[in-house]
Structure 1
């Protein structure tokens, strides 16, 4: 009953096997579709390794060092991998990276380094869209059609209403935002 935040990327279907190769290049995948990925260290990753997202944080240098790779990157895993066919989009596939603990979910939400890794993945595989699904908190779009974005959609209860008015909101914004002139 914890948090299960996920990074979701939608890519051309013919690139799927290359995504698995990319993950193996930057970590590993076990036989059960669980990944460990090597990310650059940031303060949120250090907080996670210290147990700072837990109700009882600790600092154990020897334990933390077990997760640091020789190149200085940090191994985070297990991350559940799954794919899903998208109805109406036969040439695309959704690849989902799901945190297996609530602490890891909070790390996914906060870490600049992890978000950047998913942006780089998106660029490498011509992702149509990449976002983090924050369950009832909403979603944060981080990449769309070749561009980095940061568009936060807050609260699941509001998403149904937002779908109806999203284009109206974006049109009103784009028509009035002075930097679009």
Structure 2
């Protein structure tokens, strides 16, 4: 099996319609939960379109141009969208945007433009937290309660080896890190 990286947004269910409105405004969605999303071009997206994540890039200009929208944005898809109701009293849902291929998974990890798109979506729908699930390679938190962030949690069982100490580590870091001092 290949890589199945996914952006995951935890949000209030009441913002569900707003989420799909944003997706349709910035791409297209079929009835099977497959989206083609439009992203600002960056070098990683260009690399992906020309087959750069493949073992042999193809450099076919006509093929690449099929994925470029008139406004210069790149159309990337199929990205699978699924929604799961979370247990608890807060009426929260988990929305996942899953890459259809391993190459697309690598693109999710690398592209600054795609990360920004999901940060902008998170702002629009008032996401609680948004992160990129990198499977065994960890997770990257990109948004938390109104703020863009970039926090990589690396490696196998990335939270397992931090579980008991995570908050202590963050607290000690924040006390000593010079940018947090006034």
Same fold by TM-score greater than 0.5:
yes
**1:126 is matched with which residue?**
126
Q: Give 4+ residue runs of structure 1 displaced > 4 Å after superposition.
A: none
TM-score by length of 1: 0.97
Structure 1 residues 155-180: Cα deviation after superposition (integer angstroms, max 9, x where no partner): 13232121221101001101111222
CA RMSD of aligned residues (A): 0.9
Higher helix share: 1
**1:77 is matched with which residue?**
77
Distance 1:164 1:108 in 2: 30
**1:54 is matched with which residue?**
54
Q: Is the contact made by 2:11 and 2:94 (CA closer than 8 Å) also made in structure 1? A: yes
**2:163 is matched with which residue?**
163
Where structure 1 has 5 or more consecutive residues not aligned to the other structure, the ranges are none
Distance 1:2 1:89 in 2: 36
Distance 2:89 2:34 in 1: 26
TM-score by length of 2: 0.97
**1:177 is matched with which residue?**
177
Structure 1 residues 61-104: Cα deviation after superposition (integer angstroms, max 9, x where no partner): 00000000111111000000001111225321111000010000
User: What's the offset of the Cα at 1:151?
Assistant: 0.4
SS at match of 1:41: coil
Question: Are residues 89 and 119 of structure 1, via their aligned partners in 2, closer, same or farther at CA, if it must alter by over 3 Å?
Answer: farther
**2:5 is matched with which residue?**
5
Distance 2:72 2:179 in 1: 40
Where structure 2 has 5 or more consecutive residues not aligned to the other structure, the ranges are none
